[in-house]
């Protein structure tokens, strides 16, 4: 009887382990089909919101379902792909006054720690480099879902938010008190490799 109970307990533990880790793995951002977005929002003089996005970025994340704290994420953004829906403004944003894309064509994020808030939410801290300046930032992250896709793959999606102070990254242009910070939202769908 004891042997049967022990065998049953081991079987349940093994099944639970398989279930818990079934969505672990390395996921590449779905850049090809554009199921990914990095958008930003900044106040314009305190009177309205200016919205924009980066059209060209890539990355991957490793998700450890059994130990989420071991998960990692890396993102690379091509800064010249900034798009605020206004050509002249985008030229200005690419200039030395803001992103200075000629000297700093990429911005990067590399995670250093993951702190789970609950089953589907976490704080991911990491090094963000923009305009040649690297600072530690924290992303508030929500897992949106995961599962099989219609093409035989396995997908997982996240949305992350953070707020950056422009002066912290060496952006010299002073837009006024209402526009000292920019809100960043990243929504990505990864395909397990």
Residue 4: inside a domain: no
Residue 115: inside a domain: yes
Asked if 126 and 104 count as a contact pair (C-beta separation under 8 A), the reply is no
Domain of residue 142, CATH code: 2.40.128.110
What would the pLDDT profile of 54-77 be if each residue is shown by its tens digit? 999 999 999 999 999 999 999 999
| pLDDT value, residue 6 | 33
Residue ranges making up the domain that contains 173? 23-192
Residue 7: inside a domain: no
Three-state DSSP state, 91:
helix
| pLDDT value, residue 7 | 37
The mean per-residue pLDDT over the stretch 162-169 comes to 97
Residue 169: inside a domain: yes
Residue 118 has pLDDT above 80, yes or no: no
- What does the angle CA 18 – CA 23 – CA 24 come to, to the nearest 5 degrees? 90
Give me the number of domains the chain comprises: 1
């Amino acid at each position: 009887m004891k042997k049967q109970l022990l065998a049953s307990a081991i079987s349940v533990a093994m099944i639970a382990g398989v279930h818990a880790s079934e969505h672990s793995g390395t996921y590449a951002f779905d850049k090809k089909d554009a199921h990914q977005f990095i958008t930003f929002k900044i106040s314009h003089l305190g009177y309205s919101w200016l919205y924009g996005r980066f059209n060209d970025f890539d990355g991957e994340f490793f998700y450890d379902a059994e130990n989420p704290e071991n998960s990692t994420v890396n993102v690379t953004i091509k800064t010249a792909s900034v798009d605020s829906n206004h050509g002249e403004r985008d030229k200005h944003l690419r200039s030395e006054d803001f992103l200075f894309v000629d000297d700093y064509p990429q911005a990067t994020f590399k995670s250093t720690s993951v702190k789970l808030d609950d089953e589907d939410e976490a704080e991911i801290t990491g090094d963000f480099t923009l305009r040649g300046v690297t600072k530690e930032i924290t992303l508030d992250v929500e897992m949106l879902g995961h599962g099989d896709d219609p093409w035989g793959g396995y997908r997982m999606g996240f949305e992350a938010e953070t707020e950056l102070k422009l002066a912290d990254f060496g952006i010299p242009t002073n837009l006024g008190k209402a526009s000292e910070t920019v809100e960043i939202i990243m929504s990505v769908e990864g395909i397990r490799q």
